[in-house]
């Protein structure tokens, strides 16, 4: 009878040993801070900064598109390059705050259309043209602020 009670009591040792071993393994793997934390990507300030950059990009794309439409109304076609918009339609060619490079533009050789490429902080490339009615917005812009 003493042996049966020892068997019943000893069953808990294996799961406890497994939990202790798993804890030790996790602690050993946590010695180095993950890179995504070092880049401050999970913080509110990082998210606010990327949201601000994306809003800036979308605002600049809207400005460029308006300038392209104005140019096309006056000249009868879209320009072959963005530099033709300066200074009459744009004060300068904007530089993307996400890529730190000018936006990629390609005018149709016939002047009937254009492609204006831009990148948001999600790393995806988007394209606007004369038929674009709404700019692509990230899903986080669709979420209401819970402040």
pTM check: above 0.95: no
Is 33 contained in some domain? no
Cβ contact 54:141 at 8 Å: yes
Domain containing residue 95: 44-134
- Provide the pLDDT for residue 143: 46
* Cα separation, 85 vs 66, whole angstroms: 11
Cβ contact 74:68 at 8 Å: no
Is 72 contained in some domain? yes
Residue 53 has which token pair? Answer: 């950059």
Is 3 contained in some domain? no
* pLDDT at residue 141 tops 70: no
Number of independent structural domains in the chain:
1
Average pLDDT over every residue of 56-78: 93
Is 36 contained in some domain? no
Say which CATH number the domain at 67 has: 3.30.1300
Is 86 contained in some domain? yes
80-115 pLDDT tens trace: 999 999 999 999 999 999 999 999 999 988 889 999
């Amino acid at each position: 009878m003493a042996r049966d009670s020892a068997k019943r009591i000893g069953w808990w040792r294996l799961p406890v040993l497994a939990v202790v071993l798993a804890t030790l393994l996790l602690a050993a793997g946590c010695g180095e801070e993950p890179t995504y934390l070092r880049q401050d990507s999970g913080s509110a300030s990082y998210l606010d900064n990327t949201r601000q950059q994306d809003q800036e990009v979308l605002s600049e794309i809207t400005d460029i598109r308006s300038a392209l439409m104005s140019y096309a109304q006056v000249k009868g076609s879209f320009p072959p390059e963005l530099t033709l918009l300066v200074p009459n339609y744009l004060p300068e060619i904007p530089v993307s705050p996400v890529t730190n490079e000018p936006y990629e533009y390609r005018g149709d050789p016939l002047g009937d259309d254009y492609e204006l490429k831009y990148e948001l902080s999600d790393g995806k490339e988007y394209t606007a043209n004369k038929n674009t009615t709404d700019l692509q917005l990230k899903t986080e812009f669709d979420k209401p602020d819970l402040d």
